[in-house]
Amino acid sequence: MLYTVVDVETTGLSPRQNRIIEIGAVKVLDGKVQNEYFHTIVNPGEEVSLFILSLTEIPREEIMSAPSIEHVMPDFLEFLGKDSVFVGHNARFDYSFINEELRRYFWKPIKNEVVDTIRLAKRRLPGLQSYRLEALINYFGFNHKKNHRALDDAKITAEILLKLLDDKH
């Protein structure tokens, strides 16, 4: 099965009121993270708060000089593909932001099957105190510090996905 693990960084928590500022995605096929990545910074067309700039550590200048979502989305949709399973840690968040951006430009929403690594972890690892990305990184002993950067977080989520799909858990 082909999975595309996606992470977005945004200007806030509401898909209707906020915008994407970064997209990262990685392909997973046949139980292996592929050397196929999608990454871009996105100019949201609005001011980005100091809190978000500090959280992501993406320089304001890099965001403001980046392409808009309408220029980025065709390449992202091609990378995602129609047959790939959309995976995310709290996948509904990432999926809803992608679809809201598509709606803004009168494009069709994506309809990919969705796997949420939080829900999968709750089924496969019942009883953990937390299912946050940092907690799963620690549980599996990965040497990674969550840094609110889309591609890095997509890569580590892909590794978590593989651990959760492994029959040993």
Residues catalogued as catalytic? 148
Buried b (16+ CB within 10 A) or exposed e, 79-112: bbeeebbbbbbbbebbbebbbbbbeeeeeeebeb
Written as six digits, the tokens of 123 are 């089924």
3-state class of 5 per DSSP? Answer: strand
Q: Are strands 20-29 and 32-41 parallel, antiparallel or unpaired?
A: antiparallel
- Please state, in angstroms and rounded to a whole number, the distance separating the CA atoms of residues 56 and 80: 23
DSSP annotation of 131: -
